[in-house]
Amino acid sequence: MSKSNVALILLLVLAAAQMLAQSVEIQTDPVDCLPVGMNSAITASVDGDGDFASVRLYFRRFSPVGSFYHVEMYRIGNGAHTAVLPRPEDRSVAPMRDSWWSSIRSRDWLDGRDQARLSEWLRDLDQEPVEYFVAVHDGEGERIAQTPIRIVEVQDPATCGIRLSQREELWAARLTVGETADPQADRVPFHWSCEGVAERITPDGEALPHTACSKR
């Protein structure tokens, strides 16, 4: 195959990916809070005529360190997808430092907060909050669309009552947690409980038993 034909094929693939991304719309249902030490479900609606392969929920504790994890979202009808998160551990919020602010100042959810306002908000929280977003992937695992990053408070279950459906309870009992960075490899999820975590997905897409959690 000539170089010109290869270049043409690449251009067509890129154009198809761009059209697909433009045809997919994702909206997450409002999440008021997540209870510390308990599983929660997050739901999203995916609309469009694109042929996508998977929908994932990405999540991390809001901390100066640590990368996003992900769990697969299951289709529950009419474009709605849902996923169950692991249980957030009891973790206090780290103080906002200048270096941390520099790395997150472009976050979607900041919504006009400057460093001082963000620091004040964090000081009022008892628990480290959670950042999350939903993304759609094609058959090659490439991300073709995603929502803005959101943040949600983690609260005491007494003030944040969450009830899972029977189906979600079954998912929570055997979770598969995807990794996005090499330092996460088969280590306990950063600031998340191992309760129910049975399998991990490497950044290369390989499914393996979560031995770090099974040993606990």
pLDDT digits (tens, 9 = 90+) for 38-84: 999 999 999 865 567 789 999 999 999 999 999 999 999 888 999 99
Q: What is the pLDDT of residue 51?
A: 66
Q: 82 with 43: CB under 8 angstroms?
A: yes
pLDDT digits (tens, 9 = 90+) for 133-163: 999 998 877 888 999 999 999 999 999 988 8
CATH of domain 3-214: 2.60.40.10
Residue 170 CB partners (closer than 8 Å, separation 6+): none
